[in-house]
Structure formats: C-alpha cells, structure tokens
C-alpha cells in the first residue's frame, strides 16, 4: 500500500501491478480507477461524466467494484436483496466517509476493508480487497450482514464485479469440456451482451471451469489481458457483460444465483467466496504465469516433493477387482520402478465388487482383505513406499449398510423419487451430523492403517439438492462446498503427513479453492497420451504444473488413438506430477527397466519442473509442441524443455525440428545436457536448437545447463 495524495483513494500494489480503487464521489461504492502497470504517482479518481447516455444513471456508468440492484438502475448488479416488502434492492452509503477504510498489513499482504450500510441502516455490506507483493493476484470478496430484526433474502450475492477497461469486442478465453475431455480451450469475441458460464452440478463441474481470461481490444494495449477466477467448488456463475456504452466489460461471479437463495435471519451474515483476478501486460500467457505464481506462493501448502510423490495407482489395472495377492504383485514391480506411494483405488471396501454397491461402508472388504488392509500397507511400506487409498466420502450406494441405516442423510427433494447416477446418491454435507460422520470415518481409516495418501473422488452431480422444511435449504450447494472444505481442512490439520489428491470423475472439481486444500488434482480420466496433452495444455492456462497429477498408462486415447513412444507417455506425465497407472504385470523386463530409468530422470528434475515458470510453445496439435520450464535463478538451475513431435507424416529428419527457447537469458551461454552443444540464450531464441531426439523418435527432454 503506497501513500496517495488523493483523498479516499487506495493504491494496492501486487508484485508487478497496481490496483487502484477509490470511494465514489457520493460515497455509495468503490470504483476501480486503475488496474495495470504501476503508475508511480497515482491516477485521477473516477468522476461522474458530465453527461450520461440517455436512460442511464450515474451508478450505471460507474466502474463499480460491487454493484447492487436498487442502486444500479439499469445495469447489472452483483447483489439482489429482498426484504419481502416489494422494494427489491439496497442503496449503500459508506459507514464512515471521514475514515472509510481499514487497512491491515501482514508481511507482504495488505487487506483493504470498506463497509457500507443500506438506506435503512440495517444491512451491512463489507468489501474486502487483498493484495500481496509476492504475486499478482487481487483477492476480493463481499460480506452481507443482517442487522435488522427481520428476515432478508439474497436472490443474488456474488463475490465481486470486475469492470475491465478492455475496449469493444474483447476476446474472452474460457475452459470447457466433458468427462475425459476436460479443460478444452475456447474463446469468444464478445461484442455486446452477456456471456455466462457456471455449474448447477453441486461441484465445480466437468463442463466449465470458473476462470476466464479477457484480452484487451484497446488499440495499442492489445497484449494486455486480465484473468478472473472464482475460488469455489459448489454451484457457481461467472458472466461477462459487454454494454453498448463505455469501454469496459464487467466480469461478475459468485455462488450461482439460480440454484441458491440465501436467507439471512437477524444477526446472520453471508461471506462470499473469494474471486481473484490478475493483470498481465503479456497477454493470456502472462495471465497463466501470474496464476501459477499465485498458486505456488499462496495456495500450495508446500512445494516440497514429499507431497508430490511418484504415484502408482491400480485403478486402470484392476478396476474393482482388488485382491491382496494381485496388489502385492503390482507393488513388487512398482518398487522396482522407483514409485514413492502405492495407491489402492476404488474397490477395496466392503461389498464393492462393482459400482452398484458398497459406497458408504468404509471398512476393508472381508473377502478381498481377510486380515484388513494392514498386511498390504505394511508390505508396501516395507518396500520403501508409502501407502495410499481412494475414498469417495460424500457418496453412498442404495445398496450399502450406511444408506440402510441413514436414508435421511442423502439429498432429496421432498417425496420425489430419488435419482441415482453411477448407482449412487450424495450425502448432504450441509448437515452437521453427516459432516461429523464423514470426519470420524476418515479418522477411523487413517488411524487404523498407516496411510499417507488419500485420493478423494466424487462421481456424480448433485440432483434434488435441498432440505425441505429447512429455511436455509436453498443454500445446499454453498453448505455442501463448505462441508467439503471443512473436512479437507480437518485432514490437513490432524493428518499433515497425508497427501491429498482431489478428483471428481476426472477433473470435475478443480478450482483455486480446491488447490488451497489439496496437494495434487486429477484433471481427467483420459490418459491416452495425445489426448492427455491437450487436456493438460488447457489446464496449464489457469492452473500450475506442480498440482497436475498425470499417469503413464497403456490406454489408447479416446479422440486421437495414434501410437506414441513409451517415452512420449512419460514426458506427458512428467509435465506435471508423475504417476503410473498401467498394468505393471503386463510390462516385460525391458519396459520395467526403461520405466525405472525414466522415473529416475523425473525424480532428479522434479523440484525444478514443479517450481519453474511454464511457457507453452504453440498448440498440442502443432507438428512440434513444447513446454518450457524456467527456474527463478538461471545462474544455478537449468531451463528444461519438453518436446512432443506430432508430425505423423514426417520422414524423420532431425535437422528440421528446432526449438526456440524463449526464456534463456540472451547473454548467458548454456550447454545442452548430454551433448557438446553450447549456445547463448540469444542464439537459441533466434536460430533455435536442433532437437536431438535422444530420448525417443517423437519426444525429447532438453536440459539447458548454464555454463557462463
């Protein structure tokens, strides 16, 4: 936070940008004066234009940080208040215009808090804006508190509005997909109107991810781009509105306003999820780097490799056919590969012979594990690996003892017949007794067996969410997400040695809130290498490599089944947090030995790969695609480039494939590891480096060691 001469304007500094807000001239809201490169000297605060377009009001034109129906007259507002008296909306006034803001600084972090009251004086709106000079994310949220003695309903209570100065027809990038096709990169040039994405599935969703990148269309400022994300894993909505007037689009996001209706009884308060944003002068790639820096610095509990072990997961080898003898055989090969944690996926618990039964009954299946899990866990640990387990604690099969004992614990809409999806129901995590049961069940599992890795899955959308008769029942998706966070936080607090992998039928629950409470996430069930590369390419546009769990399997891709080398599969997985999911008993000795070498290579480079800045070269569909990993200190650590060659028609000609690393320091000289080739950063960037394809004919890993 820097001082500024302008009264009631606050200059909030991030690592490489400034976010400048001020109290609007009439004291009714915060306005965004600047978001971009540091101005070193402030800027004029926003003021009302001399005249408005016909039919517009001052509040409609103001670049408000948070707008409210009833105050804004014609433009979109993030908040809709209903007191039941017919006068929908609220009009705000800063609680203390003489001293409007509280500013708290802790280390590199600064939080600006400004509170407003509505015209009746009985509703308080508090806007929080947090910045950090260690990264570029601006984190914003809103709290709405009922100080009246009546009931207030919030038909919409978004987290933030972001009035972005991007001109007319900006390009909006977003991530969309489906099961096995997550994180597809899409874009729309938004001229006029509203673009809206969201989830009504009770989880973040496979269909859309709560993040957009908005590229500036202002002449001369085109490389500039903004990223806006919602840190939330329940039902959500994010919209971009491009009005006719003005040069801004408004990104608004928060808990979904169709499926949620928030009731505030006297004294109750709603705290919105955080919406975070980043600015970059370097387009969408710069936005991705800014997200990654934030996720590494703020969201990751550690970048230590211990919470990103090399995983072996038996799901693709066995599905539900989990047997101790077979698992022990797999573990014996996993040990030889250099695997660090052996994870038993779905199928280990009571009655779980298919997806039709067992969910909810979280004790080892007595047929599959007559002596419980300990003999397997102990054997795995004796081989020098950690032991891990799959759970899906929110779900229950109708055919389970849990459901028979507690049919009232699942979501149901009054007397409507229950719907199954993947033969299961979802437990209502809005109920304190259910959350307590899940916590105790997980404690029971973790206390009875030496488990240090949990994969937490969730395999169905929540339908019929609600709790008839409960006045807060229309907040079920908010409560469900909070219950999930609460349990994850308990695991972190009470079992800090347990690594958490977040999963929801693949990548159905990945967002910045989940990143803050898990160590790795499973982006997709698609492990066919070329399809996986495409998914990971999209993933990396908003999320970082250290959390991106990826397995080497034998599976063909679903969309591109063209063959790749074994090494290519490894490089795809090494781009994130490497695991193996193949049926190891089908691998011959040569393959096992080669895999062990590749795991060793990965382990020797893992810390660098996970902590580096990532630059993607082109698209996975290009003949040659590459991912460059640049360390913070190039005088000590190498720049690493993973190269994927996709030219099926190439009569293989090495000299034709060149990589131009973008992040080598121009004056510095580098040696390409394993070769006699040396090159300066400038030479490499201009003429490129011939890819030796030493690893395989279609993939290589280039390590540029600094030598002077």
Where along the sequence are the contacts to ligand DGJ (CB under 6 A)? 315, 345-346, 390, 457, 459, 503, 505-506, 522, 525
For 706, the 3-state DSSP assignment is strand
For 295, the 3-state DSSP assignment is helix
User: Is 455 a known ligand-binding residue?
Assistant: yes
On whether the CB atoms of residues 360 and 402 are closer than 8 A, the answer is yes
Phi and psi, residue 121, nearest 5°: 75, 10
Active-site annotation holder among 457, 511, 519, 698: 457
Radius of gyration of the chain (CA): 26
User: Is 35 a known ligand-binding residue?
Assistant: no
On whether the CB atoms of residues 82 and 157 are closer than 8 A, the answer is no
Within 13 A of 216's CA, how many CA atoms are on the CB side?
21
- CA 227 – CA 543 distance, rounded (Å): 12
In order, the DSSP letters of 244-274 are: SSSS-EEEEEEE-TTT--EEE-TT-EEEPPP
79 CB contacts (<8 Å, ≥6 apart)?
A: 66, 67, 68, 69, 90, 125, 142, 144, 154, 156, 157, 158
**Residue 428 known to be catalytic:** no
We find the least distance from the C-beta atom of residue 428 to ligand DGJ, in angstroms, to be 21
Q: Angle, to 10 degrees, between the axis of helix 589-611 and the axis of helix 566-574?
A: 30
We find the least distance from the C-beta atom of residue 315 to ligand DGJ, in angstroms, to be 5
- CA 658 – CA 520 distance, rounded (Å): 33
- CA 64 – CA 61 distance, rounded (Å): 8
Annotate 531-569 with b (16+ C-beta within 10 A) or e (fewer): bbbbbbbbbbbbbbbbbbbbbbbbbebeebeeebbbbbb
Q: Would you state the structure tokens that stand for residue 77, as one six-digit string?
A: 């507002």
We find the least distance from the C-beta atom of residue 336 to ligand DGJ, in angstroms, to be 24
We find the least distance from the C-beta atom of residue 334 to ligand DGJ, in angstroms, to be 17
Residue 311 or 324: the one with the smaller Cβ distance to ligand DGJ is 311
- CA 703 – CA 607 distance, rounded (Å): 14
User: Is 554 a known ligand-binding residue?
Assistant: no
For tokens 């009571």, the residue is 350
Residue 8 or 397: the one with the smaller Cβ distance to ligand DGJ is 397
We find the least distance from the C-beta atom of residue 387 to ligand DGJ, in angstroms, to be 17
Residue 522 or 629: the one with the smaller Cβ distance to ligand DGJ is 522
Phi and psi, residue 76, nearest 5°: -65, 145
We find the least distance from the C-beta atom of residue 40 to ligand DGJ, in angstroms, to be 49
User: Is 346 a known ligand-binding residue?
Assistant: yes
Closest residue by beta carbon to ligand DGJ: 346
DSSP 8-state symbol, 72: B
- CA 363 – CA 441 distance, rounded (Å): 9
Residue 390 or 543: the one with the smaller Cβ distance to ligand DGJ is 390
User: Is 548 a known ligand-binding residue?
Assistant: no
**Residue 457 known to be catalytic:** yes
Q: Would you state the structure tokens that stand for residue 432, as one six-digit string?
A: 């304190």
Residue 70 or 461: the one with the smaller Cβ distance to ligand DGJ is 461
Residue 390 or 411: the one with the smaller Cβ distance to ligand DGJ is 390
Q: What is the dihedral of CA 463, 156, 73, 190, to 10 degrees?
A: -60
- CA 484 – CA 395 distance, rounded (Å): 12
Residue 208 or 390: the one with the smaller Cβ distance to ligand DGJ is 390
Residue 343 or 642: the one with the smaller Cβ distance to ligand DGJ is 343
In order, the DSSP letters of 518-557 are: -SEE---S---HHHHHHHHHHHTTTS-GGGBEEEE-SPPP
Residue 260 or 459: the one with the smaller Cβ distance to ligand DGJ is 459
CA angle 160, 161, 165 (to 5 degrees): 145
We find the least distance from the C-beta atom of residue 24 to ligand DGJ, in angstroms, to be 47
Active-site annotation holder among 132, 136, 361, 525: 525
We find the least distance from the C-beta atom of residue 486 to ligand DGJ, in angstroms, to be 23
User: Is 433 a known ligand-binding residue?
Assistant: no
User: Is 345 a known ligand-binding residue?
Assistant: yes
Write out the H or E segment, with its range, that includes residue 239: strand 236-242
We find the least distance from the C-beta atom of residue 503 to ligand DGJ, in angstroms, to be 5
User: Is 422 a known ligand-binding residue?
Assistant: yes
Residue 461 or 506: the one with the smaller Cβ distance to ligand DGJ is 506
We find the least distance from the C-beta atom of residue 422 to ligand DGJ, in angstroms, to be 8
For tokens 């899906």, the residue is 392
Binding residues for substrate: 179, 345-346, 422, 455-459, 503, 525
Binding residues: 179, 345-346, 422, 455-459, 503, 525
Residues designated catalytic: 457, 525
């Amino acid at each position: 936070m820097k001082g500024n001469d302008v009264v009631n304007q606050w200059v909030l500094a991030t690592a490489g940008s400034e976010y400048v807000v001020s109290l609007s001239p009439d004291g009714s809201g915060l306005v965004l004066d600047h978001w971009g490169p540091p101005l070193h000297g402030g800027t004029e605060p926003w003021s009302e234009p001399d005249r408005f377009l016909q039919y517009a009001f001052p509040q409609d034109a103001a670049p408000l940080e948070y707008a409210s129906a009833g105050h804004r007259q014609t433009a979109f507002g993030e908040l809709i208040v209903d007191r039941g008296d017919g006068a929908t909306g609220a009009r705000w006034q800063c609680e203390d215009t003489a001293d409007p803001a509280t500013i708290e600084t802790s280390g590199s972090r600064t939080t600006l808090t400004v509170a407003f009251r509505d015209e009746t004086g009985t509703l308080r709106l508090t806007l929080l804006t947090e910045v950090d000079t260690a990264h570029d994310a601006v984190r914003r949220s809103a709290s709405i508190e009922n100080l009246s003695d009546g009931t207030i309903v919030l038909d919409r209570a978004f987290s933030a509005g972001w009035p972005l100065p991007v001109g007319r027809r900006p390009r909006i990038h977003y991530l969309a997909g489906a099961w096995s096709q997550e994180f597809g990169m899409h874009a729309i040039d938004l001229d006029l109107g509203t673009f809206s994405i969201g989830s009504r599935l009770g989880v973040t969703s496979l269909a859309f991810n709560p993040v957009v990148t908005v590229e500036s269309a202002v002449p001369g400022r085109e490389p500039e781009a903004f990223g806006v994300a919602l840190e939330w894993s329940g039902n959500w909505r994010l919209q971009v509105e491009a009005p006719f007037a003005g040069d801004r689009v408004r990104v608004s996001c928060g808990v979904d306003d169709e499926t949620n209706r928030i009731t505030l009884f006297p004294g109750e308060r709603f705290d919105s999820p955080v919406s975070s944003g980043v600015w970059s002068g370097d387009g969408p790639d710069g936005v991705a780097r800014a997200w990654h820096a934030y996720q590494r610095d703020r969201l990751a509990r550690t970048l230590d490799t211990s919470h990103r072990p090399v995983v072996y997961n038996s799901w693709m080898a066995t599905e539900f056919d989990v047997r101790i003898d077979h698992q022990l055989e797999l573990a014996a090969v996993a040990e030889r590969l250099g695997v660090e944690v052996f994870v038993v996926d779905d199928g280990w618990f009571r009655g779980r012979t298919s997806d039709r039964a067992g969910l909810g009954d979280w004790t080892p299946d007595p047929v599959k594990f007559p002596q419980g899990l300990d003999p397997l866990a102990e054997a795995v640990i004796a081989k020098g690996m950690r032991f891990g387990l799959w759970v899906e604690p929110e779900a229950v099969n109708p055919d389970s003892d849990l459901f028979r004992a507690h049919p009232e614990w699942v979501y149901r809409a009054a007397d409507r017949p229950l719907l199954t999806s993947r033969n299961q129901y979802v437990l209502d995590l809005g109920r304190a007794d259910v959350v307590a049961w899940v916590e105790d069940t997980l404690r029971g599992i973790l206390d009875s067996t030496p488990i240090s890795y949990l994969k937490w899955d969730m395999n169905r959308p929540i339908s019929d969410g609600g709790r008839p008769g409960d006045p807060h029942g229309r907040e079920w998706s908010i409560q469900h997400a909070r219950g999930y966070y609460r349990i994850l936080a308990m695991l972190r607090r009470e079992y800090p040695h347990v690594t958490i992998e977040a999963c929801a039928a693949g990548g159905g629950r990945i967002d910045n809130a989940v990143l803050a409470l898990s160590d790795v996430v499973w982006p997709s069930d698609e492990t066919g290498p070329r399809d996986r590369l495409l998914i990971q390419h999209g993933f990396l546009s908003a999320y970082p490599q250290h959390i991106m769990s990826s397995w080497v399997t034998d599976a063909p891709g679903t969309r591109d089944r063209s063959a790749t080398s074994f090494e290519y599969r490894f490089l795809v997985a090494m781009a994130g947090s490497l695991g193996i999911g193949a049926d190891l008993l089908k691998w011959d000795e040569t393959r096992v030995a080669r895999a062990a070498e590749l795991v060793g290579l990965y382990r020797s480079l893992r810390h660098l790969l996970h902590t580096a800045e990532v630059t993607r070269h082109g698209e996975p569909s290009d003949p040659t695609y590459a991912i460059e990993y640049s360390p913070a200190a190039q005088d000590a650590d190498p720049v690493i480039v993973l190269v994927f060659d996709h030219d099926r028609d190439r009569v293989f000609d090495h000299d034709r494939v060149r990589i131009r690393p973008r992040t080598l320091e121009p004056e510095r000289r580098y040696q390409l590891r394993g070769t006699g080739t040396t090159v300066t950063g400038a030479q490499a960037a201009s003429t490129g480096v011939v890819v030796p394809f030493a690893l395989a004919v279609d993939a290589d890993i280039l390590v540029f060691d600094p030598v002077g």
